[in-house]
Chain A
Amino acid sequence: MSEPLLEVKNLRVAYPSAHGYSDALRGISFALGREKLGIVGESGSGKSTAGRAVMRLLPPKARVTADAMQLSGVDLLNASERKMRDIRGGRIAMVLQDPRYALNPLKTVESQIVESCRIHTRASRSEARDRALAMLEDVRIRDPQRVARLYPHELSGGMGQRVMIAMMLIPSPELVIADEPTSALDVTVRGQILDILNERVEAQGAGLIFISHDLPLVGDFCDRVLVMYGGQVMEELAAHELARATHPYTRALNASLPPLDRRVEELIVPEHDPEWLSERRA
């Protein structure tokens, strides 16, 4: 593989608690090229923490350490806050779960996309506006002129998520982190949004980290998958091999889904082996 876009080595995150520090991430390592990397796991597995740590968006009380955390040559761990402001939104973009909370309710669609464009590029106001409209068209919004004037509450969930993708991708980031981007959407809209996300990320040649709890979805959409549990990576594998995973945790998660193709009397409830929590040496 050529020079990776993002390289993370032994990333650890801990929060202060009543008994010293408690670990949220316990040494995860991965490298990402211009590809789609899925991170799956249950709530509390640390998958969102990993995404936020890369953007340095964790609260100040979190203790973040790593042997390396580099975005094509930039040391994300020790970058100044000033520098991070350029990187966040500019070189790394984040698509969040629910557009109803992630968009500014008091600003129109256009002004939010234009703002994102002007902060991170040198575009003039009119240039930014043209690009915003073009971007809305790229995310398959049929009537960009009309939608540009709407406020977030006037958008449906799928429409809002397209606007968020437009806003996040307009500065042409190198890395896009999508944290459960389709969990708040209906199944019939989900496919379209994934299509659009896929198309835009590929068109711009960016890398994508796709964080989700939905195994079949990640298996279908991503190239590679990290399966997380208890703040550690249990297994890393090619996405199309997810159904044939070898790690007992991944297998248990797969088995606990109600199957669509046949009838079963009882679902298999995963047993969590305490062994999985013990720390592994990288």
Chain B
Amino acid sequence: MTAPSLEIVNLSVAFGSDRARVQAVDNAGFRVAPGESFGIIGESGSGKSTILRAISGLNDEYDGSVLIDGRAAPRPRNKAFFKNVQMVFQDPYSSLHPRRMIRATLMEPLEIHRFDRRDERIAQALSDVGLAPEFAYRYPHQLSGGQRQRVAVARALLLEPRIMLLDEPTSALDVSVQAGVLNLLNTLRLSRGLTYVMVSHDLRVIAHMCSRIAVMTQGRIVEELSADDLRSQNAEQDYTRELITASRVALAAE
């Protein structure tokens, strides 16, 4: 395997102390090659989003290591880290500031990172995600869910990161809108050689988007398999098989 773009080693995250202690992530590890799309699937509470939050540094109280290009990510995360790694959140209704124009939302990362040609970059980022430049002068409530998620993707892309962390990027969207956003994410990854780590509870989405997939339950990664294995239901662990069967909407009744 080529040198991984992102690697996590023995990652553990716990919340609370003593009796109220919850081991949200327990000794998780995986490596993602440059340009690869890696998926994490599991039920709510399995710890999949917690891993993304640990990688992005939103929660840097973790044990183990997060390596970007073989080097440990600094704690707290610095500007150089975010230049490289960006995140897209699940709910586009709460991840955009409701009282700021889209232009102001997109301007902020450019100002923080002292980029030049800001207006030009904003127009480019909007067109990259399939939105007209006029959208810069709208407020989030004037956009549909799919358009908002496109803005969130545009914001993440502005800094030209190499790694994108995607936390259920389409689960708040209708299937018809989801198709457009997933196509967009795939095109961007291929054209820019981006590396994705994508979290979802939706087997269909994960199988479509990712080449390798980690299955999580109760904080542990129980199995890592390829998208083809997932499609052909070629799983080793009982839990994975259960998850696949459930997702195929096989109703036990009748």
Binding site for B on A (CB under 8 A): 42-43, 157, 186-188, 190-191, 194-195, 198-199, 213, 215-217, 220-221, 252-253, 256-264, 266-270
Contacts and interface: CB of A to CB of B under 8 A. Distances in A.
B207 A194 contact: no
Which of B43, B203, B228 has the largest number of chain A CB atoms within 10 A? B43
A122 to B, nearest CB: 33
Given A187-B201, A257-B175, A267-B179, 19 more contacts: A42-B174, A186-B44, A187-B43, A187-B247, A188-B246, A194-B251, A198-B253, A252-B176, A253-B176, A256-B178, A262-B231, A263-B208, A263-B228, A263-B231, A267-B180, A267-B208, A268-B179, A269-B176, A270-B179
B20 interface: no
A184 B119 CA distance: 40
A191 B252 contact: yes
Given A213-B174, A262-B231, A263-B227, A269 B180 contact: yes
A261 B227 CA distance: 10
Contact of B208 (A43, A190, A264, A270): A264
A258 B182 CA distance: 9
B249 interface: yes
B80 interface: no
Interface string B169-208: 0000011111110110010000000000000010111011
Contacts of A259: 204, 208
Contacts of A267: 179-180, 182-183, 208
Nearest to A217: B249
Contact of B246 (A187, A253, A257): A187
21 contacts: A186-B43, A187-B246, A188-B43, A191-B246, A194-B253, A195-B252, A198-B251, A217-B249, A220-B249, A220-B250, A256-B178, A257-B179, A258-B179, A258-B205, A259-B204, A260-B204, A260-B231, A260-B248, A264-B208, A266-B186, A267-B182
A258 B247 CA distance: 13
B189 to A, nearest CB: 13
Contacts of A266: 183, 186
A199 B179 contact: no
B116 interface: no
Given A258-B205, A259-B204, A260-B207, A191 B250 contact: yes
Contact of A256 (B175, B227, B248, B249): B175
Contacts of A217: 249
B14 interface: no
Contacts of A221: 251
A99 to B, nearest CB: 14
Nearest to B232: A261
Contacts of B120: none
Q: Which 4 A-B pairs have the closest CB atoms?
A: A258-B208, A256-B179, A267-B179, A186-B43
A1 B207 CA distance: 43
B111 interface: no
A157 B207 CA distance: 26
A260 B203 contact: yes
Contacts of A188: 43, 242-243, 246
A73 to B, nearest CB: 31
Contacts of B43: 186-188
Nearest to B187: A266
Contacts of A195: 251-253
Contacts of A268: 179
Contacts of A186: 43-44, 201
Contacts of B251: 191, 194-195, 198, 220-221
A215 B178 CA distance: 14
Contacts of B228: 263
- B44, B203, B207, B208 pick with most chain A CB within 10 angstroms: B208
Contacts of A191: 246, 249-252
Contacts of A256: 175-176, 178-179
A269 B183 contact: yes
Contacts of B205: 258
B246 A215 contact: no
Contacts of B242: 188
Interface string B29-43: 000000000000001
B153 to A, nearest CB: 16
A43 B182 contact: no
A226 to B, nearest CB: 17
